[in-house]
Amino acid sequence: MKADQASNTALIVAAGVQMLALDPDYRAMVPATMAAHGHGLLRASHPRLASLVARHWFRTLVYAAEKITLPGILLHYVLRKKVIREYTAQSIAAGTHQIVLLGAGYDTLCMELAEQHKNLRLIEIDHPATQAVKRAAANASQENRIHYIAAELGKQNLADVLRKCEGFDANLKTLFIAEGLLMYLTSSDVASFLQQIQLASTNASLIFTWMEIQTNGRPNFRPASKIIDFFLERKAEPFLSGMAQDQVARFLQQHGFNLNDLKESTAASQQPNKCQAIAGEYICLADCQHA
């Protein structure tokens, strides 16, 4: 991602969620609060795109493009978020008092939680260019409830970044969420990232998504798309790491975490759909061993 530009991937995911929220076949999968906040955010930050997404002809074109690039990717985005929200609710019920959303992009989870849990501390960390757009679009009430931190996680130490945030309490039971983030880091950077979480918080748990390694030895969706791979390379957002599902628990244990659960997004679908969600990315819930 270029230093002065918001993430293209974050924008694509946000628009994709809004598309399915408007689709009669899928809108039941998008919670009303997610759809409402997402619509407001997209309209405030990218009004032209928000206007296009609302048009049937544009959504038809996007669905056609999806079929020849990554069939089921839009459904995957929505189901991925559904699993993350289930894990988050589970964590809050278990006593979590603070949530740190990493690489937040245009996700609306903290906006939703700000309305649902008045005593929950909420922190978002993201690339300065992406977050500048989001902060400008956030309304005043959300600004007061959510602490926004502009930082480049690949270049800045997470523990150091959080120490400088007056809204962060290292002693609270904290849930860190890294959706669609770790695949853009190398394996060694992921290991460092896990260590930084342990240094930042005395009682941490983590929700993250990660890619599988495909037959060509590279992390990717299944089936992969050469068109999308080219796009990500051009936009400087290539996938850098991944791991087979049966290796995740051991990797986490080596770096101070215990795996609690792991799901693919398809596990969240409770009804037959026009298409199947794409495979290759899974969602994990883990606890820090010293918590």
The model's pLDDT over 20-73, given as tens digits with 9 standing for 90+, comes to 999 998 888 899 999 999 998 888 888 999 999 999 999 999 999 888 888 889
Query: 14, 39 in Cβ contact below 8 A?
Result: no
For residue 261, what are the β-bridge partners? 285
End-to-end C-alpha distance for the chain, whole angstroms: 34
pTM of the model: 0.91
Length of the chain: 291
Question: Tokens 């289930």 map to which residue?
Answer: 86
Q: What gap in Å lies between CA 183 and CA 248, rounded to an integer?
A: 13
At residue 3 the predicted structure's pLDDT band, cuts being 50, 70 and 90, is: very low
Q: How far is CA 285 from CA 83, 242, 252, in A?
A: 10, 16, 11
Statement: residue 243 has pLDDT above 80: yes
User: Comparing 115 with 223, which gets the higher pLDDT?
Assistant: 115
> What mean pLDDT is reported for the chain?
87
At residue 238 the predicted structure's pLDDT band, cuts being 50, 70 and 90, is: confident
Query: 213, 219 in Cβ contact below 8 A?
Result: yes
Query: Domain extents for the chain?
Result: 8-288
Helices (H) and strands (E) in the chain, counts: 12, 7
Statement: residue 2 has pLDDT above 50: no
Taking residues 262-272, report their average pLDDT: 77
Centre a 10 Å sphere on the Cβ of residue 176 and count the other Cβ atoms it contains: 26
Q: What is the pLDDT of residue 32?
A: 92
CATH number of 8-288: 3.40.50.150
125's CB contacts (< 8 A; 6+ apart) are: 100, 101, 102, 103, 104, 149, 150, 151, 153, 158, 161
Question: Tokens 């068109």 map to which residue?
Answer: 227
Lowest mean pLDDT of 96-100, 129-133, 168-172, 213-217, name the range.
129-133
Taking residues 158-183, report their average pLDDT: 93
Q: CA 219: distance to chain centroid?
A: 17
Question: Tokens 């049937």 map to which residue?
Answer: 56
Statement: residue 272 has pLDDT above 70: no
